[in-house]
Structure 1
């Protein structure tokens, strides 16, 4: 049975505001941060960038968990996290070419989102522990494995977004830019919450600026060792 937030793919609908500004800013900052952190993971030269983006992901995760409880209608976990039966029903419809259209996240997409948030927590926690010399080599391997698992899940998520865009005849990528999707007027949210999104950007950019000020001078004695005490062992080995 369909609820007020879903309808069959062929049902006509106008464009309504679904994703508020904080959700969209969170999404694209997370995309940038994970991509940047993954690409700089093996480079000692870009260690500060890698760590900074890792901390950024941790901060974004905390925000999303809070916003998932107090945010706008479709941002709340209660509006899109469903049980196995709902996920199976959606996947059956997908296989038969008649998927339910959800104004917010569909049940299968919700599973991917929750899994990505969980992996973000694991990646950032193990990354911090590894960088602080806590846990040893096994924790570093767990960190790398979690990052690779997250990359694989991101790939699955992208495939799902493209497939959903094709089957529902609407661009889900564009929706995460404009905030608008096909739906009925009563399905939309009233406020974009731009002020919260601006505060997010200010906080992230301010944090990046502070990290940049902490960057070691090129060619200096600490240039290769980052900016935390965890990497002072490189200097100790020379004594």
Structure 2
């Protein structure tokens, strides 16, 4: 049975931990720039698609940006800073289930980096966005425009990839809705300022976890990776064969 003394002691421990909490750098600059640039690229891709075929070129540019960003984040998940590494935040099904049950119960465990559900959302986002952007390279609208790599596939294959490209949008929209709802829930229910952390890179964590803060963003390495990826994509696009029925899209 929980006594008044036990409750008082638990409250004192919580108060001491709160008093010891300090701001520590958790998210490196490359991760933060990746996050907000990806948001801008997705919004711009949606707008340029809605504006019609005359904005197709800009829609393709947005797709290039998404490919470079997603590719960078995957590599950064292998060689980046502490909380960017997949091995440090992707948990197995058991721990993810336990976190989910505690979340439903209104007492979620707190993590310095991504929580288990957030980690799987990151992977789902990267997979869906990468696949959508990649399929767009081979797509066509059967009227004026075709993707830069259309020449590598048959028209039938291009139409199938275009269909997949369109369907993936709805999955991505659903992921975005869930992500925004989760961020709002953490902000209003558990007082976790996730948006602020993704802007400043700093989170308020208990002093005992200070060792998990990062000291450097390793931005120089991130810049090299982004330039290499952008250069590689540019080479692939500019050296792609022309479409056999290219006149269809003039």
Give TM-score, length-normalised by structure 1. Answer: 0.78
Question: 3-state DSSP class of the match of 2:77?
Answer: helix
- Mapped to 2, the partners of 1:206 and 1:162 lie a distance apart of 38
- For residues 34-45 of structure 1, what are the structure 2 equivalents within 5 Å? 34-42=42-50, 43-45=52-54
Alpha-carbon contact 2:25-2:201 (below 8 Å) kept? yes
Alpha-carbon contact 2:45-2:63 (below 8 Å) kept? yes
- Mapped to 2, the partners of 1:145 and 1:166 lie a distance apart of 33
- Mapped to 1, the partners of 2:223 and 2:71 lie a distance apart of 17
Alpha-carbon contact 1:18-1:104 (below 8 Å) kept? yes
Q: 1:125 to 1:205 in 2, by over 3 A?
A: closer
83, 99, 102: which one pairs with 1:74? 83
Gaps of 5+ in 2: 1-12, 140-146
- Mapped to 2, the partners of 1:139 and 1:202 lie a distance apart of 28
Is 1:177 equivalent to 2:199 in the alignment?
yes
- Mapped to 1, the partners of 2:129 and 2:82 lie a distance apart of 23
Q: 1:176 to 1:203 in 2, by over 3 A?
A: farther
User: Which protein shows a greater Rg?
Assistant: 2
* Deviations, residues 168-226 of structure 1 (Å, cap 9, x unaligned): 3121011000000122321201112343466678789999xx9xxx9xxxxxxxxxxxx
Give TM-score, length-normalised by structure 2. Answer: 0.75
Alpha-carbon contact 1:9-1:99 (below 8 Å) kept? no
Alpha-carbon contact 1:126-1:142 (below 8 Å) kept? yes
- Mapped to 1, the partners of 2:37 and 2:229 lie a distance apart of 9
- Mapped to 2, the partners of 1:83 and 1:48 lie a distance apart of 41
* Deviations, residues 107-162 of structure 1 (Å, cap 9, x unaligned): 00011100001101210121111124331322211101112211211111111111
Is 1:234 equivalent to 2:244 in the alignment?
no
- For residues 193-212 of structure 1, what are the structure 2 equivalents within 5 Å? 193-196=218-221
Alpha-carbon contact 1:21-1:197 (below 8 Å) kept? no
Which shows bigger deviation, 63-72 or 129-138? 129-138
Structure having the higher helix fraction is 2
- Mapped to 1, the partners of 2:29 and 2:221 lie a distance apart of 8
- For residues 2-21 of structure 1, what are the structure 2 equivalents within 5 Å? 11-12=17-18, 13-21=21-29
Which residue is equivalent to 2:134? Answer: 125
- Mapped to 2, the partners of 1:93 and 1:170 lie a distance apart of 16
Gaps of 5+ in 1: 1-7, 215-227
Question: 3-state DSSP class of the match of 2:138?
Answer: helix
**RMSD between superposed Cα atoms in Å:** 2.7
